[in-house]
A and B are shown apart, each in its own frame.
Chain A
């Protein structure tokens, strides 16, 4: 865990996977701890099943975008999207990578190659079929929170702040499932 409480996180996925909610929770958790935070996201056209990237910069007082090669953490909710944004990660950065692919308009692609690209970028990587795990927890919809749980161990924010931020950001009906997903994510990293 970095000491100066600065942490640049890039979240990559496909429109509909909950990338933006994930970055909202990071922002909320930072504010709970009184840290400055910046975020960048793209709405509109890009959300319709296209590639989605969100930047969350904890402890940052400047612009919302992380420069290439400088992200401390990559949360990849989809392997191709993880590979696509892998150059943002710094050399020893941490990557949580979901290995379950979302095909491109019916066409599959080489998942192993994506994992290789990511492994070339960093050895500090936790890959796994987190889609399956999310479904086991209750729904594919909690994949984002589960993966946030995995990364949270490497983010300089207290677990309680994440939990409060999740409580503020998800509907009460789904809170139990989301907290369970978050905890099982932490369990993977621990």
Chain B
């Protein structure tokens, strides 16, 4: 079972009533599994427009006295953080679990931020599984913790938990509590300043109870050993266990699963050691608290970790990281396995026949190499290889950065590129701002009718809900006009010539112009059975077709060739000046 599926099954077992999420790797399969299970187990699950929307919905369910979950990737919590911070003040009624999937090493993300910092910032409990089994068990446990403390509880997953696999045991957990209802309580729920001051006092008064919960945490273990101790959290626990077994080490071990830190447990453990190694992925969150506990208890223990430069502050840990650290701790030269050197990298690329290939070719042709292309987050970020993505910061940033850039880069056309799902997530406010403040900007919405990068989830433009029910699809053209765009032009990125002609006017005019380049993702839309090939007699080797950067086109012996990867979009045939690319005979 995938870690994400294990988390989903835990939430179902705990009797979750409402699930809200925006897709994001490595979290997406949690909500997807829940959506698939929702009809059978009679609970509600949706893809929300963004993480803030998801958070507030889930919080509403909690205030209605029912168990709720909100699921996102780490950077999604930045989007939800406004609601997140103050919901710790106002507190929960029905248990509320926030599942945040961090991405150490940024396998599929724009940064490696550590969500535990957010939990500490908001002063709510955070638990971190060390295995897929624990991820499932914690997903059940978190609800009762939330109900005991009256606070939302964060479960921090990481890529290796979410996208790890193992067999999982399903126990019988107690039946979830009876449902409540929304009870009016303005003094507690309406955060006017006077109420907020009281709410902070209450939140602070809960902290001792939270630390007590950590002292009693059922997922923490200790192992006796020599005077060198290892304090470990998360998936690194597995690495330590494997290294201890394979090398027959006798280090003492303390596995910590929760924040705020169990100070007594930590200082008791450190009191019997000369040296303590702290292992955790991400920031030195536990380590900082370990220093504080050592200071408070007046211990003379040597603390090794990220803060003294002993452990890496970036990327993932692994068995090798742990072996290496133990070797160095004991003054041995670590044996490193050498990866083969200077192999060519294989970067991810847009798929053969991807509509974005056509869109980017058209944008470059119309607006020229000198145009600036502030970009956004999605498959189309891979346009970095085509020179049509100049920035990628966070969801929705492209339009606003473009608006800012265009104010001062007067001689250049600025074309902000954004995907359909990202546009609904956080592009619309940027569009309204650009129109209100009279930006001279082109916004290109690449509408492939799905949230492609994260596994093809529907979004408000698709006219379908998460469970496949029909719903009102948002009309992007009307929306853009209503938000004040001076021109809205829709093109088909497979029709290069027609689109380039249509966009000439857009290029020549000024003001806020919106281009909607619409063609379904090759994975989710019906495809033609056509396949294309190059007539090598007439191919002049001009390399024009290579400019599309389609992975199905290669160049061999001074001629283009189309491989079996072709998916039949025909973009290359349309741009070939010599008519050398044609449909293959069936």
A, B co-complexed: yes
A residues lining the B interface (CB < 8 Å) = 14-15, 23-24, 27, 31, 36-51, 62-65, 67-69, 80-81, 83-84, 86-87, 103-109, 114, 117, 140
B455 touches A (CB below 8 Å):
yes
**Closest chain B residue to A39, Cβ basis:** B165
Contacting pair A40 B346 (CB below 8 A): no
Shortest Cβ gap from B506 to chain A (Å): 29
- Taking CB atoms, residues of chain A closer than 8 Å to B163 are 40-43
In addition to A44-B454, A62-B239, A105-B349, 20 A-B residue pairs with Cβ atoms within 8 Å of each other are: A38-B166, A39-B164, A40-B163, A40-B164, A40-B165, A44-B25, A45-B107, A48-B348, A48-B379, A49-B351, A49-B551, A62-B238, A63-B319, A65-B160, A68-B320, A68-B337, A80-B344, A87-B339, A104-B344, A105-B551
Chain B hits for A50, CB < 8 A: 346-349
Alpha-carbon distance A39/B161, docked complex (angstroms): 10
CA distance A46 to B345 in the complex (A): 12
Q: Which residues of A contact B453 (CB under 8 A)?
A: 44-45, 48
Are the C-beta atoms of B555 and A106 separated by less than 8 Å?
yes
Cα-based distance from A39 to B160 in the complex (angstroms): 9
A105–chain B nearest beta-carbon distance, Å: 6
* Cα of A44 to Cα of B163 in the assembled complex, Å: 11
Q: Are A42 and B107 in contact (CB under 8 A)?
A: yes
Query: Across the interface, do A86 and B164 meet the contact criterion of CB distance under 8 Å?
Result: no
A56 to B: closest C-beta gap in Å: 8
Please encode chain B, from 227 to 242, with 1 for each CB lying within 8 Å of some chain A CB and 0 for all others. Answer: 0000000010011011
**When A80-B343, A105-B385 are in contact, do A64 and B164 touch as well, CB less than 8 Å?**
yes
A residues near B337, Cβ cutoff 8 Å: 67-69, 87
Chain B residues contacting A39 (CB-CB under 8 Å) are: 164-166
**Which residues in B have some Cβ–Cβ distance to A below 8 Å?**
25-26, 28-29, 107-108, 159-160, 163-167, 235, 238-239, 241-242, 245, 318-320, 323, 337-340, 343-351, 379, 382, 385, 453-455, 546, 549, 551, 553-556, 563-564
* Given A39-B165, A43-B455, A63-B242, A80-B346 contact (CB < 8 Å): yes
Q: Which residues of chain A are within 8 angstroms of B339 by Cβ–Cβ distance?
A: 68, 84, 87
In the complex, what residues of A have CB within 8 A of residue B551's CB? 49, 105-106
Q: How far is the CA of A68 from the CA of B323 in the complex (A)?
A: 11
Of B159, B235, B379, B555, the residue contacting A42 (CB under 8 A) is B159
Cα of A60 to Cα of B347 in the assembled complex, Å: 31
Q: Which residues of chain B are within 8 angstroms of A48 by Cβ–Cβ distance?
A: 348-351, 379, 382, 453
Whole-angstrom distance from the CB of A89 to the nearest CB of chain B?
Answer: 10
Given the complex of chains A and B, what is the CA–CA distance between A188 and B66 in angstroms?
58
The distance in angstroms between the C-alpha atoms of A67 and B348, with both chains bound, is 24
Closest 6 pairs (CB-CB, A-B): A44-B25, A63-B238, A44-B108, A68-B337, A39-B165, A50-B348
Give the complex CA separation of A105 and B164 in angstroms: 30
Chain A residues whose C-beta falls within 8 Å of the C-beta of B349 in the assembled complex = 48-50, 105
Across the interface, do A44 and B26 meet the contact criterion of CB distance under 8 Å?
Answer: yes
Task: Describe A's contact surface by its main secondary structure.
Answer: mixed
Contacts of A44 in B (CB 8 A): 25-26, 107-108, 453-454
Taking the closest CB of chain B, its distance from the CB of A10, in whole angstroms, is 13
- Closest Cβ of chain B to A118, distance in Å, is 9
In contact, B108 and A106 (Cβ under 8 angstroms) = no
Determine how close the nearest CB of chain B comes to the CB of A112; give it in whole angstroms. Answer: 14
Given A39-B166, A62-B241, A87-B337, decide whether A45 and B344 contact each other with a Cβ distance below 8 A: no
Which residues of chain B are within 8 angstroms of A37 by Cβ–Cβ distance? 165-167
Report B-chain residues with C-beta under 8 Å of the C-beta of A38.
Answer: 164-166
B351 neighbours in A (Cβ, 8 Å): 48-49
Bound CA–CA A84/B163 (angstroms): 21
Q: Which among A45, A87, A105, A109 is the interface contact of B108 at CB below 8 angstroms? A: A45
Pick the most buried of B339, B348, B553: most chain A CB atoms within 10 A of its CB.
Answer: B348
Listed A/B pairs (12) with beta-carbon separation below 8 Å? A31-B167, A43-B25, A43-B29, A44-B454, A46-B107, A48-B349, A50-B346, A64-B165, A65-B319, A67-B319, A105-B549, A108-B556
- Output the least CB separation between B190 and chain A (Å): 40
Bound complex: CA A81 to CA B346 (Å): 9
Out of A24, A45, A109, name the residue touching B25 (CB < 8 Å).
Answer: A45
Contact among B239, B344, B549 for A63, CB-based, below 8 A: B239
A37 to chain B, nearest CB (A): 6
Residue of A nearest to B381 (CB): A45
**Smallest CB–CB gap between A70 and chain B, Å?**
8
From A14, A105, A108, name the one whose CB has the most chain B CB atoms within 10 angstroms: A105
In whole Å, how far is B560's beta carbon from the nearest beta carbon of chain A? 9
Closest residue of chain B to A86 (Cβ to Cβ) is B340
- Known contacts A43-B108, A63-B235: does B25 contact A106 (CB below 8 Å)? no
Tell whether, in the assembled complex, residue B323 and residue A67 are in contact, meaning their CB atoms are under 8 Å apart: yes
Give the residues in chain A near B108, CB-CB below 8 Å: 42-46
**B-chain residues with CB within 8 Å of residue A80 when the two chains form the complex:** 343-344, 346
* CB-based contact B554/A108 at 8 Å: yes
> How far is B346's CA from A114's CA once the two chains are assembled, in angstroms?
14
Enumerate chain B residues within 8 angstroms of A69, measured Cβ to Cβ.
337
A64 to chain B, nearest CB (A): 4
Chain A residue at minimal CB-CB distance from B382: A48
CA of A171 to CA of B351 in the docked complex: distance in angstroms? 23
- In this complex, what residue of B is CB-closest to A51? B346
**Distance (Å) between the CB of B483 and the closest chain A CB?**
30
A134 to B: closest C-beta gap in Å = 12
Task: Give A160 to B140 CA distance when docked, in angstroms.
Answer: 36
A87 to B29, CA, bound (A): 31
B241→A27 contact, CB < 8 A: no
Nearest A residue to B338 via CB reads A87
Complexed CA–CA distance, A183 and B164 (Å) = 29
Q: Name which of B165, B320, B379, B455 has the most chain A CB atoms within 10 A of its CB.
A: B165
Which of A37, A39, A44, A106 is most buried by chain B, counting CB atoms within 10 A of its CB?
Answer: A44
Q: Which residue of A lies closest to B319 (CB)?
A: A67
- On whether A67 and B343 interact (CB within 8 A), knowing A36-B167, A37-B165, A38-B165, the answer reads no
Contact call A15/B564, Cβ cutoff below 8 A: no
Known: A42-B107, A44-B454. A87 touches B554 (CB 8 A): no
Q: How far is the CA of A69 from the CA of B164 in the complex (A)?
A: 20
B235 contact set on A, CB distance < 8 A: 63
Q: Are A140 and B346 in contact (CB under 8 A)?
A: no
Report whether A27 and B107 are in contact in the complex, using a CB–CB cutoff of 8 Å: no
- A40 vs B385: C-alpha distance when bound (angstroms): 28
Residues of chain B contacted by A140 (CB below 8 angstroms): 564
Taken together as a complex, chains A and B put the C-alpha atoms of A140 and B343 apart, in Å, by: 25
A8 to chain B, nearest CB (A): 11
In the complex, what distance in Å separates the CA atom of A23 from the CA atom of B164? 11
Residues on A with beta carbons closer than 8 Å to the beta carbon of B241: 62
Q: For the complex, what is the distance from the CA of A63 to the CA of B555, rounded to whole Å?
A: 43
Partner among B165, B319, B553 whose Cβ is within 8 Å of the Cβ of A41 = B165
